[in-house]
Structure 1
Amino acid sequence: MESAIFACPAAWKPLLPIDVKIVSGAAALAERSWDLVALTPDGLRMAEAIRCRLLLAPGECGVLSQIQAERVVTYGLSPRDSLTLSSLQEPVLCVQRTLPRLDGGVIEPQELPLSNLPFPAEELLPLLGLRLLQMPLETAGKL
């Protein structure tokens, strides 16, 4: 499975799943078809062309004309986003609707309490979403 995160903050590198590639240039992102691409807000602004099976993108992404994705999962603080936070003071990741997995399975709507985060939860939403979508199904409830 080929997974990537685009425009990843340097401080997140130790927190990424081991098999996720960090892509920093738009050309490198566009040169192949990915299974999963996670866009940070900065990555969304810089992205040009993307081909992937599953895209994790900020909810304010709007129409992405140069992006070809079979499925899009959005994250953010809007109730329309697939991944959001139901609490900011004691962060809880909220899966608002059934999410597709690359292995054909799904992640059911649920709330996952978060503890000991190194940064504010709202900043980590793309990383949390990426980890959730990458985890083996039996451990998906343990971010």
Structure 2
Amino acid sequence: MYDHVLVPTDGSDRILEALEHASSLVQQYDAALHIIYVVQASGVVETLGDDEFEEMIQRVERAGEEAVETAVEHANDHGITGVETAIRQGVPAEEIVGYTEDSGVDMVVMATAGRTGDERDVVGSVTERVVRLSSVPVVTVNS
């Protein structure tokens, strides 16, 4: 039913529960696991010079590489091997949806923070945008 499952990571511990859920799906359907990290640099271009901007991008990309590596290790600990990884630059929700289309992903599993009260009404979270933009099922795991 599912051949390619994607878990976006932001490097936080919140994604561990999403990875647990995705690992179960990957094993159940004998699917491939994909992990993506998106470097979002918009909004800082205007305030930084070219050298500062490039240095900042390199730092964020290193953080992304570490986040992806941690996620892969977690998947390996659950018996998942051959994990496909990607680091992209851009608007996170758009890059995640674009990756699903480019890579033939047929399910996305994302962590979401449990929101209450006024926080629940805030629009614009990456998870919410992916749910709205995606043409494939998106499973949200409350972490």
- Tell me the TM-score normalized by structure 2: 0.30
> Larger relative CO (CA 8 A, sep 6+): 1 or 2?
2
- Decide which structure has the larger Cα Rg and report it: 2
Is the helix fraction higher in 1 or 2? Answer: 2
- Tell me the TM-score normalized by structure 1: 0.30
Is the strand fraction higher in 1 or 2? Answer: 1
